[in-house]
A = this chain, B = another copy of it.
Amino acid sequence: MPESQTPYDELCSLTRQIATLESVSRLVAWDQETYMPAGAAGARARQMAMLAGIVHERKTAPRMGELIQACEEDPDVTGDPLRTACVREMRRDYELATKLPGELVAELARVGSEAQQVWKRARTESDFALFRPSLETMVALTRQKAECYGWGDGEPYDALINEYEPETTARQIEAIFTPLRDRLSAFIAEVRDNGTPPDTSPLDVQIPADRQHALGLFILKSIGFDLQCGRLDTTTHPFCEGLAPGDTRLTTRYHEERFTDALYGTMHEAGHGIYEQGLPKGSHFGTPLGEAISLGIHESQSRMWENFVGRSRAFWTWALPHAREYLGSPIEPFSTGQLTAAVNTASPSLIRVEADEATYNLHIMVRFEIERALISGDLPPADVPGAWNERYKSFLGVDVPDDRRGCLQDVHWAFGLIGYFPTYCLGNLYAAQFWETIRSQIPDLDTQIARGRFDALRIWLNENIHAHGRRYRAGELCERVTGKPLGPDPLLRHLESRIRPAYGL
């Protein structure tokens, strides 16, 4: 190391190297989902494991710990708010990487891999009893994980949320989720009882995948996803991978009998992608200042473009002529109003990934309450089906006919992803709260969107959210930007404003 190199510089140089290796891992993972031939699966697993090993070794190197400590005591860092934030996040990453013993990580991976196989069979056979032992083991291991991470004055589940949504506690989430749950549940019942469901037949038209793809690319360009620094491909499960600076890759999937699946899927991933492209990776790549804050904030960006923009009347005012051009005659007969109404339903259903924008949040409530109780020990894994079905009845008013369409529908718990579900709903909440601020600061936003002008919105998001990297935690950023702590009201107001007109209320 050159004599002039400070601990901060050396630290950033180490994290940049790690980030470069991680960017290679992401490329390898992307290829696995897109173009890898089936026969390469074995070799691919060894490549991934090898890279993961090298990254883990570097992330947990004692030198990292020494440098972080030196930075925490260095006036050149502590006197600079940006560097202070950067080192705070590096400390966080180092703790997360070093706190779990290698054996526990290996055991979680092994059990997770087995449990996924068992879960697949259990779901097919709709047989929870088959999955129960795997779930019990996974819950026990996850509680061990929480013990290793530790938590403040809250509860073990906090330690798990923290992996995905830093420094956010179950109690904070509960304080927002509970009123949201009750009021949303009541609103959905009111809509069911008094509203007239919109006609969704405009969506039931056949559109070839290549036409949908062309429309998707046009929408991406229009809303400002930079295709010179990104791609759109097709996979079974759509995702966005912020691979590397200048390299953000989206995927989608096409259902020829329901074109809005791909349209909104693509806009959702584009929201993630615009966030990735907006992060200051030029100057801060490989440090927390060039990275996304949390899953919740990431999801707020995807939901904003998918729902707040994409399901608005203003959007369809602009988009419909283009959709007609790209998709052709099947959608010719329909008006802006008909399409807007058709994509703003609030119709309780059984499956989370097929749920509409409003009821989706209640699916998350069920999962949040159950996994929190699993980790606290209040709910034995054996009682999950009962707890699940009871909540679906109470929150959504639906009867769960079997576990396949009930508590066995998601892979997350088999995988050990506990503490992850709430981030989906937090995303909606953050998006709604940002959206109200944006509308007050860009008063003619609807007019702009109706003219296909998305730059003011994108620039606002960039300046207020993307540009900061991980400088602020999610809750702090929300207060800075909106002037208020996160709450349920904006999301409720948004949903009502979209659904009432669609249901003639």
Contacts and interface: CB of A to CB of B under 8 A. Distances in A.
A244 B17 CA distance: 24
Given A46-B20, A50-B21, A54-B54, A37 B231 contact: yes
28 contacts: A17-B50, A20-B43, A20-B50, A24-B28, A27-B27, A27-B28, A27-B31, A31-B31, A35-B35, A35-B231, A37-B227, A37-B228, A37-B229, A37-B230, A38-B228, A38-B229, A39-B226, A39-B228, A39-B229, A39-B246, A40-B229, A40-B244, A40-B247, A42-B245, A43-B243, A43-B244, A43-B247, A54-B54
Q: Mostly helix, strand, loop or mixed at chain A's interface?
A: helix
Given A20-B43, A20-B46, A23-B43, 7 more contacts: A27-B27, A35-B35, A35-B233, A38-B228, A40-B245, A43-B246, A44-B244
A36 B39 CA distance: 23
A41 interface: yes
A355 interface: no
A335 interface: no
A244 B47 contact: yes
Nearest to A226: B39
A41 B228 CA distance: 11
Nearest to A40: B247
Interface of A: 17, 20-21, 23-24, 27-28, 31, 34-44, 46-47, 50-51, 54, 226-231, 233, 243-247, 249, 285
A20 B37 contact: no
A247 B39 contact: yes
A111 B35 CA distance: 35
B23 A47 contact: yes
A87 B31 CA distance: 34
A46 B285 CA distance: 12
Contacts of A23: 43, 47
A493 to B, nearest CB: 39
A280 to B, nearest CB: 14
A39 B231 CA distance: 11
A44 to B, nearest CB: 7
Contacts of A229: 37-40
Interface centre among A42, A43, A233 (most CB of B within 10 A): A43
A44 B17 CA distance: 13
A233 to B, nearest CB: 8
A274 to B, nearest CB: 14
Contacts of A226: 39
A16 to B, nearest CB: 9
With a 10 A CB-CB cut-off, give which of A40, A46, A51, A228 has the most chain B CB atoms. A40
Contacts of A233: 35
Contacts of A228: 37-39
Contacts of A40: 229, 243-247
Nearest to A31: B27
A474 to B, nearest CB: 27
B246 A41 contact: yes
Nearest to A246: B39
Nearest to A16: B46
B42 A246 contact: yes
Nearest to A243: B40
Nearest to A245: B43
A27 to B, nearest CB: 6
Q: 9 nearest interchain CB pairs?
A: A39-B229, A40-B247, A39-B246, A43-B244, A40-B246, A43-B245, A39-B228, A20-B50, A24-B47
Contacts of A47: 20, 23-24, 27, 244
Given A27-B27, A27-B31, A54-B54, A247 B36 contact: yes
> Max chain B CB contacts within 10 Å: which of A17, A24, A38, A227?
A24
A40 B23 CA distance: 11
A49 B34 CA distance: 25
B50 A246 contact: no
Contacts of A231: 35, 37
A298 to B, nearest CB: 20
Contacts of A243: 40, 43
A249 B36 CA distance: 9
Contacts of A24: 24, 28, 47, 50-51
A252 to B, nearest CB: 15
A223 B24 CA distance: 34
